Every structure is written in structure tokens, then in C-alpha cells.
Amino acid sequence: MENDNSQFLITKSSYLAHEMKNLLAICNLYSEIMEKQIDKVKFQDQKTEASFKNAMMCIDRALKMTDNLLLDFRSMKDNQIEKCDLNKILDSALEMSKIYAQDKKIELTNCNKLNVNIYADENKILSVLINIVKNAIESIEETGEVLISTNEYNNNIKIRISNTGKPISKKLQEQIFEEGFTTKRTGNGLGLGICKQTLETMNSDLQLVKSDSDSTDFEITVPKC
């Protein structure tokens, strides 16, 4: 399925703010978990405990300050395209995204059987994958599955992210890459457009392949090394 919204333009600052927001959410959620569990930790002495609690408070504060700084951020580095280990990236994407599924029963699986390298900016493709897996998790109400699978096609690698859950109606499928389109109460409607635009700057692509009662499948095409 072709979606021709390659004209989708996002300012560098909104790109950065959106991506950082996702990553900061991961830090905030893990920091909350640590805070909740701190009473179960046996510290060697009071000084160590105080120092640990202070470190956590500082992290919390720094995260909030970074959040604010992002609102005014204006510049961004160029792509760092290099040889990357595909499996390592897929594992990291699932590891980092699983915090979004903490209140649900979702099986997240990397079914990649390929032992290959790809040409990509590792951090950027990781952010793209986190966005897509986050959307997949958000589309599952309580229980479901998110699978990442891969295959080789000509000189490219196709990465398929597939999730169970409510499908996207045919009408809405035309709009999902548009800036500001969201069906979520707290969504910005920026994620998929940013992913598509980011991949295009790396000679890569993102398409919605299908969305029906079995699954919703997005596919990333990226050059193989």
C-alpha cells in the first residue's frame, strides 16, 4: 500500500521535541519504578542511602528541565549513516519499548532470523522502531502480541512490525501519515510522519502493509550492507 505523503515536512525542533519526549518518557517511567522500589533496597549505610536518593532526585529534576529545554531547541545533527547490526537494534527497540506495555499483557517478540548489517543512523532507526512499537502497544487494549520479523529483498532488508488489536479503518489508513492526525486523547499525530521522513533521509522507507482483524503490519525498508 503506497502512501504518498513524502511532502510531509516537520520542523527540526518539533522532530527533536517529539523524539526526545518518547525517550524521556522511558527514563521517567524507569525512574518511577526505582522510586517505588527504593524502600525494598538494603543500603550498606545511611550515607549511601542518602546519596542514592539524592541521585534519583537529581535525575528526576534533570529530566523535567530537559523537557522544558526541548520546547526551545532549534538545531539538529546530520545523519550518521554507518554499518549497524540489525539484530542488536531490534533487541534494543523491544527492550526500551517494553516499559510502555507495563500495564498490559503483551508479548513482544523479535523473530529476526537474519544475521545481517544494515546502512542506517543507528539512533534514528532505533527511534523509528520505538515509535512504531509504541503505536503497536497503544493499539492493544489489554492483551495481545507485537512481533518483529525480517526478510531480505534485493539489496534491502524489510523489517515488519506486526500487532494484534483494533485495525485502522480503510478511510483512516489514508490519513495516518499526515501531520497532526491522531485518534488518541493525548496523541500529537506526529510519530508516523516523523518516522517516514526520517527514513527517507536514510534511503529507507515506511509503509502500512495491511490492517485487518488479524493484524496491523508496518514495514520498514532499509539498505543492506
Ligand X SMILES: Nc1ncnc2c1ncn2[C@@H]1O[C@H](COP(=O)(O)OP(=O)(O)OP(=O)(O)O)[C@@H](O)[C@H]1O
Please answer whether residues 161 and 140 qualify as being in contact, where contact means their C-beta atoms are separated by less than 8 angstroms: no
156 binds Mg ion (CB under 5 A): no
CA 2 to chain centre: 22
For residue 168, the partner it binds in ligand X, Mg ion, none, with Cβ less than 5 to 8 A by kind, is: ligand X
165 binds Mg ion (CB under 5 A): no
Q: How far apart are CA 120 and CA 127, in angstroms?
A: 12
- Which one among 135, 150, 197, 211 touches Mg ion, defined by CB under 5 A? 135
Please answer whether residues 220 and 130 qualify as being in contact, where contact means their C-beta atoms are separated by less than 8 angstroms: no
For residue 81, the partner it binds in ligand X, Mg ion, none, with Cβ less than 5 to 8 A by kind, is: none
For residue 183, the partner it binds in ligand X, Mg ion, none, with Cβ less than 5 to 8 A by kind, is: ligand X
Q: Decide: residue 198, CB within 10 A, 0-12 exposed, 13-18 middle, 19+ buried.
A: buried
Q: Decide: residue 73, CB within 10 A, 0-12 exposed, 13-18 middle, 19+ buried.
A: middle
CB of 170 to ligand X, least distance (A): 13
Span near Mg ion by CB under 5 A; candidates 91-99, 132-140, 144-152, 157-165 = 132-140
For residue 221, the partner it binds in ligand X, Mg ion, none, with Cβ less than 5 to 8 A by kind, is: none
Residue 201 DSSP class = T
CB of 53 to Mg ion, least distance (A): 34
Q: Which is nearer to ligand X, 119 or 127 (CB)?
A: 127
For residue 163, the partner it binds in Mg ion, ligand X, none, with Cβ less than 5 to 8 A by kind, is: ligand X
Interactions with Mg ion, residue window 183-202 (CB under 5 A): 191
Q: Please report where in the chains the cell 517478540 appears, as a residue.
A: 109
CB of 156 to Mg ion, least distance (A): 24
User: Which single residue brings its beta carbon nearest to Mg ion?
Assistant: 191
Q: Decide: residue 196, CB within 10 A, 0-12 exposed, 13-18 middle, 19+ buried.
A: buried
Q: Which residues of this chain interact with Mg ion, rule CB under 5 A?
A: 135, 191
